[in-house]
């Protein structure tokens, strides 16, 4: 089969579109024909060898798919060939024509949801849902600040925030991205290249600060948010797309009485599969009701997968970039 392969850690330009052996599906696995795969910033970090986990080389990139089950192992009763599914690819390998997944992992993809939407809502929207539900315990009427709000995970957080009943303030680096964030449901926006971010969050919250911050950017953006938290606020550490790991003077959490909370969706799916399955049920209800509709930036053929990754690294993507084998 064809796949986008990392043979050596480095720039995404060094990735190779090449033949790879078909995956081996064991008795507990399902074999899936991949129809769409979502691109996440994490893919870039993985390719560069900068992610928390370094897979053994060579490996096929990609962490989320939708597709059709083509074969099931003898112990798998949840699925049969022909079933449409969407799934996290826990051990990577999504940017390929086929993938083997543990039988307990995929979620059934309803017939009225496209493969592109299925792939797009996995790690981005589902991460946002896990972060806001389980990690922040976000309440109706609270104020949610989303950074990187026009990105895949950020736009997912806007939609999930609105689905929960939050007032959402989207933080972006351009007016174009701010307008996009508004189209995703944000109540207000901040262009942090034009406004002082800490001051702007305070202004838009009547001086209280944010109840919840969903930060995908890190660096100075995190630093500004850490100084604009409400009492009993929750500052969610989701990602570091800026490339800068922020350092937090912890006295801020004492003085302002707020919590800093790490989010790692992959760990959540691995360690709490039943709760993950419940989240997916809720997510699909929201999709059925039209409350959640993942924004697709572009759909790119697998053979041009490097260009798909570059759309993220060049900071141009708004919503989700999807790869089609």
Ligand X SMILES: NC(=O)c1ccc[n+]([C@@H]2O[C@H](COP(=O)([O-])OP(=O)(O)OC[C@H]3O[C@@H](n4cnc5c(N)ncnc54)[C@H](OP(=O)(O)O)[C@@H]3O)[C@@H](O)[C@H]2O)c1
294 binds ligand X (CB under 6 A): no
Q: How many Cβ atoms sit within 10 Å of the Cβ of residue 290?
A: 7
Closer by beta carbon to ligand X, 25 or else 144 = 144
**DSSP H/E element including 274:** helix 273-288
Instruction: With beta carbons less than 8 A apart as the criterion, state whether 278 and 291 touch.
Output: no
- Contact flag: residue 177 with ligand X (CB under 6 A): yes
Reduced to 3 DSSP states, what percent helix, strand and coil does the chain have, rounded to the nearest 5? 35, 25, 40
When binding is defined by CB under 6 A, the residue of 66, 107, 129, 153 that contacts ligand X is 153
Q: Could you check whether the bond before residue 58 is cis, i.e. omega within 30 degrees of 0?
A: yes
- Closest distance of CB 275 from ligand X, Å: 15
Instruction: Please report whether residue 240 would count as binding ligand X according to CB under 6 A.
Output: yes
87 membership: H or E segment, kind and range: strand 84-88
Q: Which tokens belong to 215? A: 């930060």
Interacting residues of 314 by C-beta distance below 8 A, sequence separation 6+: none
Q: How far is the CB of 128 from ligand X (least distance, A)?
A: 9
Phi, psi torsion values for 146, nearest 5 degrees: -115, 120
One-character DSSP codes across 198-235: HHHHHHHTTTS-EEEEEESS-HHHHHHHHTSEEEEEEE
- 312 belongs to the binding site for ligand X (CB under 6 A): yes
Q: To the nearest whole angstrom, how small is the minimum distance from the Cβ of residue 39 to ligand X?
A: 7
Q: Using the rule CB under 6 A, is 239 a contact of ligand X?
A: yes
Structure tokens at 160: 């999930």
> At its nearest, how many Å lie between ligand X and the CB of residue 84?
23
String marking each residue 189-218 x if it binds ligand X according to CB under 6 A = ---------------------------xx-
Element (H, E) at 160: helix 152-164
Contact 319, 187 (CB under 8 A): no
Single residue of 265, 279, 296, 308 touching ligand X by CB under 6 A:
265
Q: Which residue is nearest to ligand X (CB)?
A: 151
Based on CB atoms, which residue is closest to ligand X, 29 or 64? 64
Query: Cα–Cα distances in Å, from 255 out to 134, 137, 177, 235, 295?
Result: 25, 22, 33, 14, 38
Which residue is associated with the tokens 């003898």? 74
d(CA 210, CA 228): 6
Question: At closest approach, how far in Å is the CB of 231 from ligand X?
Answer: 25
Is residue 154 near ligand X by the rule CB under 6 A? yes
Q: Which C-beta is closer to ligand X: that of 88 or that of 284?
A: 88
The window from 4-12, 19-27, 108-116, 122-130 that contacts ligand X (CB under 6 A) reads 122-130
Q: Does 136 bind ligand X (CB under 6 A)?
A: no
Closer residue to ligand X, CB minimum distance, 64 or 211: 64
List the one residue from 151, 161, 209, 305 that touches ligand X (CB under 6 A).
151
Q: Which one of the spans 78-86, 161-169, 232-240, 246-254 is the region binding ligand X (CB under 6 A)?
A: 232-240
- Report the nearest approach of ligand X to the CB of residue 274 (Å): 19
Using CB under 6 A as the binding rule, whether residue 238 contacts ligand X is answered as: yes
- Token look-up 């995908």 returns 216
For ligand X, the binding residues (CB under 6 A) are 40-42, 123-124, 127, 148, 150-154, 172-173, 177, 216-217, 238-243, 263-265, 312, 315, 317
């Amino acid at each position: 089969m064809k796949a986008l392969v990392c043979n050596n850690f480095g720039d995404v330009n060094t990735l190779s579109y090449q033949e790879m052996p078909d995956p081996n599906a064991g008795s507990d696995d399902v074999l899936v024909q991949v129809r769409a795969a979502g691109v996440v910033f994490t893919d870039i970090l993985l390719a560069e060898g900068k992610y928390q986990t370094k897979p053994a080389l060579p490996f096929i990139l990609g962490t989320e798919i939708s597709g059709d089950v083509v074969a099931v192992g003898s112990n798998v009763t949840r699925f049969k060939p022909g079933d449409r599914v969407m799934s996290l690819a826990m051990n990577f390998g999504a940017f390929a024509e086929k993938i083997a997944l543990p039988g307990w992992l995929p979620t059934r993809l309803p017939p009225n949801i496209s493969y592109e939407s299925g792939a797009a809502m996995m790690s981005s929207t589902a991460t946002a849902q896990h972060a806001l539900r389980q990690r922040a315990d976000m309440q109706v009427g609270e104020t949610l600040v989303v950074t990187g709000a026009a990105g895949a995970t950020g736009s997912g957080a806007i939609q999930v925030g609105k689905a929960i009943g939050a007032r959402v303030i989207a933080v972006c680096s351009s007016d174009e991205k701010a307008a996009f964030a508004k189209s995703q449901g944000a109540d207000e926006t901040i262009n942090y290249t034009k406004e002082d971010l800490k001051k702007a969050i305070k202004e838009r919250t009547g001086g209280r600060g944010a109840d919840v911050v969903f930060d995908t950017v890190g660096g100075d953006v995190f630093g500004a948010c850490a100084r604009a938290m409400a009492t009993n606020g929750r500052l969610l550490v989701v990602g570091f797309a800026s490339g800068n790991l922020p350092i937090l003077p912890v006295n801020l959490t004492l003085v302002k009485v707020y919590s800093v909370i790490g989010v790692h969706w992959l760990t959540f799916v691995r360690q709490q599969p039943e709760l993950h399955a419940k989240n997916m049920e809720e997510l699909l209800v929201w999709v059925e009701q039209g409350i959640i509709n993942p924004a697709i930036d572009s759909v790119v053929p697998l053979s041009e997968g490097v260009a798909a990754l570059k759309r993220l690294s060049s900071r141009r993507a708004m919503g989700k970039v999807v790869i089609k084998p």
